[in-house]
Amino acid sequence: DARVTQTPRHKVTEMGQEVTMRCQPILGHNTVFWYRQTMMQGLELLAYFRNRAPLDDSGMPKDRFSAEMPDATLATLKIQPSEPRDSAVYFCASGLGTSGGNSGANVLTFGAGSRLTVL
Amino acid sequence: GQNIDQPTEMTATEGAIVQINCTYQTSGFNGLFWYQQHAGEAPTFLSYNVLDGLEEKGRFSSFLSRSKGYSYLLLKELQMKDSASYLCAVNGTASKLTFGTGTRLQVTL
């Protein structure tokens, strides 16, 4: 049963600390998305990659957030320094996106999420 | 940009039918998706539409009108386990998937 693996599942940290969240996408999936979910905003797209190349990170506060894919099996989302307003659940999702925009291939599988609390 | 609207909450009775609407305005369109999310869990895929019309999958159906920028998710024979949030998402250019804020459905006895 293929799944997207996220670590850590829970993280409590103090304001100003660095936080790194990791994601292992499903083998063979070539798109990886990072979303942030809060009660007020719902699922916000932070950044996404296709074939490890960043396509759009306009939803991400660039001064403190960074997203990378060092290889096809690992995506990372880093916050430095963290702030209380960053408290949320961060989801990674992967899919078989194609450049032709074939919707059927763009079904995303989500990881279980990383719940971040910044005090 | 993308603008996706859904009702915030709905309540329906077990065994009934409920329709959850979604309207969207997008700069690019390559399909509309519906996801289900139970409290404390990750979203899971339900259905997608890329052409106008109705797609049926068991108790769940989804409809799309591209000219109206409108979709709905229809849930039949509601069960208590259908209590969840239902997220409408638009697949834009370059496989970018943008979600609405979701509709929280409460199924009651």
Could you read off the pLDDT of B17-68 as tens digits, one per residue? Answer: 999 999 999 888 889 999 999 999 999 999 999 999 999 989 999 999 999 9
Single out the residue of B24, B42, B31 nearest to residue A33, CA to CA: B42
The b/e string for B75-88 (b: 16+ C-beta within 10 A; e otherwise) is beebeeebbbbbbb
Q: Which of B43, B91, B100 sits opposite A103 (nearest CB)?
A: B91
Rounded CA gap, B104 and B69, in Å? 21
**C-alpha distances in Å from residue B21, one per residue of B7, B57, B84, B100:** 7, 17, 15, 11
User: How far apart are the CA of A54 and the nearest CA of chain B, in angstroms?
Assistant: 11
Contact criterion met (CB below 8 Å) for B106 and B47:
no
Sign, CA torsion A111/B105/B60/A46? negative
A chain contacts of residue B95, beta-carbon cutoff 8 Å = 31, 48, 50, 55, 95, 97-99, 101, 106
Give the tens place of pLDDT for each residue, A45-89. 999 999 999 988 888 988 999 999 999 999 999 999 999 999 999
Contact B45 A109 (CB under 8 A): yes
Task: Return the number of CB contacts < 8 Å for A and B.
Answer: 72
> Which tokens belong to A64?
């403190």
Give the tens place of pLDDT for each residue, A84-101. 999 999 999 999 875 544
Rounded CA gap, B40 and B13, in Å? 23
- SS3 label, residue B87: strand
Q: Which of A50, A103, A111 sits opposite B30 (nearest CB)?
A: A103
